[in-house]
Amino acid sequence: MTESEVLEIFRETGALLEGHFLLRSGLHSSRYFQCAQVLQWPQHAERLCRALAERCAAGAQAVISPAMGGLFVGHEVARARRVRHIFVEKNPTGALELRRNFSIGRGERFLVVEDVVTRGGRVLETMQIVRAHGGEVVGVGALVDRSGGTVDFQVPFGYLLRLQVETFDAEQCPLCRKGVPLVKPGS
């Protein structure tokens, strides 16, 4: 699957938005990937995630993803790889944690999967959780790497689409200065 095919699927399903957006990181951007719009279609979810599974590091015994964005992606990648999928989710303070009696075995090898990576904060937090429970992270995967290749997880990183999407601190945002309404579409 080529990057142009991936981009076309995102556009046709309305998953690539143009405007003025507040990202989870607090940064502003003129483009937003709302993966839920593409993942609502099982045929697209299966095709994209199967392609992602093929581009990710081999040797994982399980897949783990941060909720909410990574849930469907992690599940579909795990299905394609025929391994189990678990997830981490926010606690009341907003930090990610392992819940629901999920377990990570000592030395168990994990692939961390997310929908979109900008700075990689949730992926790094998930990696720390795996390691704190005695597991090993063998790779990371994402449908979209919007960092343009600037994020480094210190393990192999597979993705379907890599774009350098310009982001701005709120104080330097040209869209704010132009008065373009800021939208937080959710992740």
- Indicate the fold that domain 3-177 takes in CATH: Rossmann fold (3.40.50)
User: What are 59's two structure tokens?
Assistant: 């040797």
Across residues 17-46, what is the average pLDDT?
91
Domain boundaries, the chain: 3-177
In three-state secondary structure terms, 96 is strand
Q: Worst-scoring range by mean pLDDT, 20-29, 49-58, 101-110, 140-149?
A: 20-29
Tell me the whole-structure pTM to 2 decimals. Answer: 0.89
| DSSP designation for 147 | B
Contacts of 150 (CB under 8 A, 6+ apart): none
Comparing CA positions, the residue from 8, 64, 67, 76 lying closest to residue 40 is 76
pLDDT at position 163 over 80: yes
| Residue 163 near residue 24, CB atoms below 8 Å | no
Please report the sign of the dihedral spanned by the C-alpha atoms of residue 33, residue 23, residue 57, residue 104.
Answer: negative
- pLDDT of 187: 53
**Above 60 in pLDDT, residue 98?**
yes
> Each residue of 113-153: pLDDT tens digit?
999 998 899 999 999 999 999 999 999 999 999 888 899 99
Q: Determine the pLDDT at residue 24.
A: 77
Residues in the chain: 187
Name the H helices within the chain: 3-12, 35-39, 42-55, 71-81, 121-132, 174-177
Specify the 3-state DSSP secondary structure of 168: strand
Question: In this predicted structure, what is the pLDDT of residue 25?
Answer: 77
Residue 164 has pLDDT above 90, yes or no: no
Q: Inform me whether the pLDDT recorded for 60 exceeds 80.
A: yes
Check whether 15 has a pLDDT greater than 60.
yes
Q: Give me 11's structure tokens.
A: 């556009």
Q: What is the mean pLDDT of residues 154-171?
A: 92
The per-residue pLDDT for 119 is 86
Q: How many CB atoms lie within 10 A of CB 6?
A: 22
What is the arithmetic mean of pLDDT over 33-40?
Answer: 93
